Amino acid sequence: MTDVSRLVECVPNVSEGRRPEVVDEFVAAFAGADPEVLVLDRSSDPDHHRSVITLMGPGPALVEAAVAGARACARLIDLNHHRGVHPRMGALDVLPFIPFGAETRLRGGDDPELDCAGLAERAGRRIAAEAGVPVYLYGAAARHPGWAALPAVRGRGFEALRAALAAGDTGHAPDFGGPELHPTAGATAAGAREVLIAYNVELADADLALARKIASAVRERDGGLPAVRAMGVPLEHRGVVQVSMNLLDWRATPPAAAYAAVAALAEKHGARVEASEIVGLAPAGALDGVDPGDLCLGDFSSDMLLESRLLQALTTSEETR
């Protein structure tokens, strides 16, 4: 019987969202690394050119999954031929470990299997050694002053970071591996953080300038909503623009509050919300008491909730043993 109190969540973000066969291959690499790894969700987007995978399992199993997935991503993805609206610096771009079980913690404690920052360090060291991909530590695992926030680590992305390191910029040297980036797979940001919700709002009757203006108005950095990062991007495949957000603390700013702010600003400028989406899974508490229709979450179901998907995965796992 799985001890849920000791489970850790891991959400690899991979720079590939257009080739389903490639996504299948690296997801299989993550999943096949250890029998205790559960794949709860996978989501790919062609405009962002990105896939997000939600894994759950004991800490050591997730470290094995991270290393196997990093090797597959490095083999399958060449960033020199990758263009999408989402910033990226690596094939396996971001690798966060997230406390889930009651015994797990962001950092510290007596048991290294429950220490998310420690797990990120172990995975990062092995990815550099076994996949040949340099690793930066961020979030609660950060060693470098100022690298707790992911955007500070990633900077302007693969090309700019590669040029800086090639020119001898030691201030951006990775924590493991290097000193330069992998020529095709770039670098990975491995870290520890609390749960965040990737939440996007699509606008109709709006152009990219308006989407960017709204993103600036709602993000915390520019005086907007607490614990919100946001950017305005074009979605060519859908023919709309999007305000793409990370809700870093859903208790401070839940999806309903982010939606209301974007919708009000859009209406003020003669635009409207066409749809919104949650990328990956959200904790049930973030949508407690919310009518999904009020957020234009047209395809919402309980399967989009982290706890529901975990229960399904655990039930399936127990039945197949």
Q: Which residues are catalytic?
A: 86
Note whether 214 and 265 are within 8 A (CB).
yes
Q: What distance in Å separates the CA atoms of residue 65 and residue 73, rounded to the nearest whole number?
A: 12
List of residues 6+ apart from 183 with CB closer than 8 A: 80
Nearest C-alpha neighbor of 76 from the set 91, 66, 87: 91
Helix (H) / strand (E) containing 42: strand 38-45
Q: Work out the number of other CB atoms within 10 angstroms of the CB of residue 136.
A: 30
Listed residue (49, 51, 46, 47) closest to 30, CA to CA:
51
Residue whose entry in the numeric block shows the structure tokens 């309980």: 302
